[in-house]
Amino acid sequence: MRVKYVLSEVLVGLWRNVTMTIAMIITLAVSLTMLGVSGLVYSKVDDMKDLYYKNIQVSIFLKGDVTDQQRTDLETKLKSDSLVKEVLYVNKDEAYKRFQEMYQDAPDLVTAVKPDQLPESFRLTLVNPEQYKSIYDQYKDTEGVDEIVDQSRLLDKIFDLFTAGQNIALAGAIAMAIAALLLVANTIQVAAYSKRREVAVMKLVGASNWFIQAPFVLEAVVAGLIGSFLGLGALIALKFFLFDGSLSALQGLFSPVTWSDIFLMFPIMAGVGALVSAVTGWTTLRFYLRV
Amino acid sequence: MTKTYPKASRPSLDNVSVSIEKGEFVFFIGPSGSGKSTIIKLLLHEVTPNKGRVIVNSKDVTSMRSWKRPHFRRSIGCVFQDFRLLPNRTAYENVAFALEVIGKTKAVARRVVPEVLELVGLGGKEHRYPHELSGGEQQRVAVARAFVNRPLILLADEPTGNLDPDTSIEIMRLLDRINRTGTTVVMVTHDSNIVNQMRRRVVEIESGRIVRDQARGVYG
């Protein structure tokens, strides 16, 4: 009977102040969606880092006047280096071929460049791509070396962009969460006010504190859960229309956002939504109801 | 026992000591602001004394933790000048509410509530809403609600303050009947008529001090 009483109080409470309830649910939903997006970006960036760093290479370009001796010395040194997993030598012709492939859309550029003008290079795959710096320090002054280029520097810039995007989503989530918190607090206050007679009688006859507070706190929790369901819906829509829709051309670039990624975000969103609402509701009651 | 409210220039109750036996009927009288109502608040553990102790039902409630308060209050019934009924509930529902929120089942309520409404003289009016009842009848509902849980103590804070003299007397008869069941009744009032008619113990308070404590007293 008590459970039934509490549940019916929750429904009545949500309905009594329905405009506020809707506002509360929408802000919670937006906040949780942004949290979900941020979480997805976070897990995707990790995936992509793994994927990209595995194939990342450090290129050591050689000077045009490099001697055979210098080249052989360098190659021996690189091959015995414990930081290096694989060494690939690219001579001028191969470099030219790659160049042609890369710029096949710009034939003028290709014809303007002669195989001679392209430097020879060693392409290194590192055991650990993060150790680029020590490779750089070690070989930058070696005879015959012109320049050392690390692709991961470039990738880092791309990932910095992703991280920035993730941070923006997170900041948005936090801003919306604050708005949601205030709405939850306000809704609870209104609810407590409209039930002040009942609460006064309950306190007087000795109803336990949890029994007085539960309907209010649950009201907030239910709103939080509804908000997280809406957030899940928004993420599904995002995947459907954005990743599988207009952004599907970029699929080769990103690691794909799978359905399981999205459904794995849901417990986090629901948990955060429910917990944050409950804590806010309960704290509000501590100040407002003084049971 | 002394109780000073924050910001008050003098204590609401100053070094007051009263002992009330089980089953007694006691009036606390005195002018407004004399500290009578503070006694009710102390007994309900709504406020705590600055000095001294409050002992209710042989339990020291002076430093009772607030989470124990709900259970403690179940042994005390309470009636007020303004009835404090829920306007959107019938007489029956108002009384049943007090049972249900402390975890009693609907079956218990169905058995006990009609009994107690009969006791307070409201048989047949169970399904009236407060606005369909007279002041005296509303106060009867409030008494029924306070008594339905069979408390050891009934606190009444000016229960006749809003009632005409005849109705007041009826309410007093009711409180007297409840007292005869063994329930201790503590009543705060400044209704001299009632005090004079009842001839029960009277404790007079003035400016936070007890100036008279008299068995079978009058308003004076």
Question: What pLDDT, on the 0 to 100 scale, is given for residue A250?
Answer: 63
A209 touches B at CB < 8 Å: yes
Kindly state whether residue A256 falls inside one of the protein's structural domains.
yes
- The confidence score (pLDDT) of residue B4 equals 79
> Is A202 within 8 Å of B86 when comparing Cβ atoms?
no
Largest CA distance in chain A: 98
Q: Evaluate if residue A130 carries a pLDDT over 90.
A: no
How many residues in total does chain B contain? 220
Distance CA A132, CA A277 (A): 47
At a CB cut-off of 8 Å and minimum separation 6, what does A240 contact?
none
Note the pLDDT of residue B74: 94
Domain boundary among A79, A113, A143: A143
Closest residue, chain B, to A290 (C-alpha): B66
Q: Across-strand partners of A90?
A: A121
- End position of a domain, from candidates A102, A118, A143: A143
* Residue A231 near residue A33, CB atoms below 8 Å: yes
pLDDT tier, B99 (very low <50, low <70, confident <90, very high otherwise): very high
Indicate whether A193 pLDDT > 60.
yes
Closest CA to B81 of B130, B143, B166: B143
> Who among A1, A202, A207 is closest to B106 (CB)?
A1
Query: Which pLDDT belongs to residue A85?
Result: 81
Q: Which CATH superfamily is domain B1-75+151-220 in?
A: P-loop containing nucleotide triphosphate hydrolases (3.40.50.300)
Least confident piece of the model among A27-36, A246-255, A280-289, B5-14: A246-255
Could you tell me the end-to-end alpha-carbon distance of chain B, in angstroms, rounded to an integer? 25
Instruction: Clarify whether residues A23 and A71 are in a common domain.
Output: no
Instruction: Select the more confidently predicted residue: B25 or A112.
Output: B25
**Shortest Cα distance from A210 to chain B (angstroms)?**
10
Residue A14 has a pLDDT of 83
What 3-state DSSP class applies to B208?
Answer: coil
Average pLDDT score, chain B: 92
Which helix (DSSP H) or strand (DSSP E) does residue B42 occupy?
A: helix B36-43
Please answer yes or no on whether B97 and A201 come within 8 Å at the CB atom.
yes
As a 3-state breakdown, chain B gives helix, strand, coil percent values, each rounded to 5, of 35, 20, 45
Q: Please tell me which of the candidates A1, A203, A208 has its beta carbon nearest to residue B100.
A: A1
User: Are A38 and A85 contained in the same domain?
Assistant: no
Domain(s) labelled CATH 3.40.50.300 in chain B stretch across: 1-75+151-220
In a domain, A119, yes or no: yes
Specify whether A100 is located in the same domain as A228: no
Question: How far away is chain B from the Cα of A173, in angstroms, using its nearest Cα?
Answer: 36
The interface predicted TM-score (ipTM) is 0.89
Which whole number is the average pLDDT over B165-188? Answer: 95
Instruction: Concatenate the DSSP letters of all residues of A165-195 into one string.
Output: HHHHHHHHHHHHHHHHHHHHHHHHHHHHHHT
Q: Which range (A242-246, A260-264, A283-287) has the least confidence? A: A242-246
Checking if the pLDDT of B1 tops 80, the result is no
Looking at residue B121, its pLDDT comes to 93
Domain with A238, as residue range(s), is 2-52+156-288
Is A211 close to B149, i.e. CB distance below 8 A? no
pLDDT band at A159 (very low <50, low <70, confident <90, very high): confident
Q: Mean pLDDT over all residues of chain A?
A: 83
Q: What is the mean pLDDT of residues B101-111?
A: 92
Same domain, A175 and A138: no
- Residues A42, A85, single domain; the answer is no
The answer to whether A205 contacts B87, with C-beta atoms less than 8 Å apart, is no
Decide if A133 touches B, using CB distance below 8 A.
no
- Who's near A125: CB < 8 A, 6+ residues apart? A55, A56, A57, A84, A85, A86, A88
For residue A118, name the pLDDT band (cuts at 50, 70, 90): confident
Q: Which of A32, A16, A14, A8 is nearest to A268 (CA)?
A: A32
Same domain, A184 and A229: yes
Would you call B107 an interface residue with chain A, using a CB distance cutoff of 8 Å? no
Q: Looking at the structure, do residues A211 and A171 belong to the same domain, yes or no?
A: yes
| The pLDDT of residue B75 | 93
- Judge if A168 and A270 occupy the same domain: yes
Report residue A49's pLDDT band, with 50, 70 and 90 as the boundaries: confident
pLDDT over 70, % of chain B:
100
Name which of A78-92, A192-206, B121-135 the model is least confident about: A78-92
Share of chain B above pLDDT 90, in %: 69
Using an 8 Å CB-CB cutoff, list chain B residues near A197.
84, 86-87
Do A227 and A89 fall within a single domain?
A: no
Taking only the tens place, the pLDDT of each residue in B5-44 is: 777 778 888 888 999 999 999 999 988 888 888 999 999 9
Same domain, A41 and A115: no
Residue B200 has pLDDT above 90, yes or no: yes
Q: What mean pLDDT is predicted for residues A195-221?
A: 90
Looking at beta carbons, which residues of chain A come within 8 Å of B72? 206
Smallest CA–CA distance, residue B103 to chain A, in Å, is 7
Q: Which residues of B179-217 are buried (b: 16+ CB within 10 A; e: fewer)?
A: beeebbbbbbbbbeebbeebebbbbbbeebebeeeeeeb
Confirm if B125 and B134 have CB atoms less than 8 A apart. no
In a shared domain, residues A185 and A230: yes
Determine the distance from the C-alpha atom of residue A173 to the mean position of all C-alpha atoms in its chain, rounded to a whole number: 12
Q: A252 pLDDT band (50/70/90 cuts)?
A: low
Rounded Cα gap, residues A68 and B182, in angstroms: 115
How many other C-beta atoms can be found within 10 angstroms of the C-beta atom of residue B140? 25
Q: Could you report the per-residue pLDDT of A58-108, keeping only the tens digit for each?
A: 888 888 787 888 888 888 888 888 888 888 888 888 888 877 777 777 777
Nearest-CA neighbor of A161 among A26, A44, A69, A63? A44
pLDDT at B142 over 90: yes
CATH number at residue A137: 3.30.70.3040
- Residue A79 pLDDT: 82
Residue A215 has pLDDT above 70, yes or no: yes
Q: In the predicted model, is pLDDT for residue A128 greater than 80?
A: no
A200 touches chain B (CB under 8 A): yes
C-beta of residue A265 within 8 angstroms of C-beta of residue A239: no
Residue type, A220: A
Minimum-distance CB partner of A209 among B44, B67, B98? B67
- Asked whether residue A57 is assigned to any structural domain, the reply reads no
Q: What is the CA radius of gyration of chain A?
A: 30
Q: Is residue A12 included in any domain, yes or no?
A: yes
Please judge whether A205 and B100 are an interchain contact, meaning their C-beta atoms are less than 8 angstroms apart.
Answer: no
Say whether pLDDT at B216 is over 80. yes
Quote the DSSP letter at residue B45.
T
The answer to whether residues A279 and A164 belong to one domain is yes
Measured between beta carbons, the chain A residues lying within 8 angstroms of B100 are 1-2, 5
Question: Do residue A198 and residue B86 have CB atoms under 8 angstroms apart?
Answer: yes
Q: Count of domains in chain A?
A: 2
pLDDT of residue A254: 66
Out of A110-124, B76-90, B102-116, pick the least confident. A110-124
CA A42 to chain centre: 2
Q: Report yes or no on A58 lying in a domain.
A: no
The pLDDT value given to residue A133: 77
pLDDT at A253 over 70: no
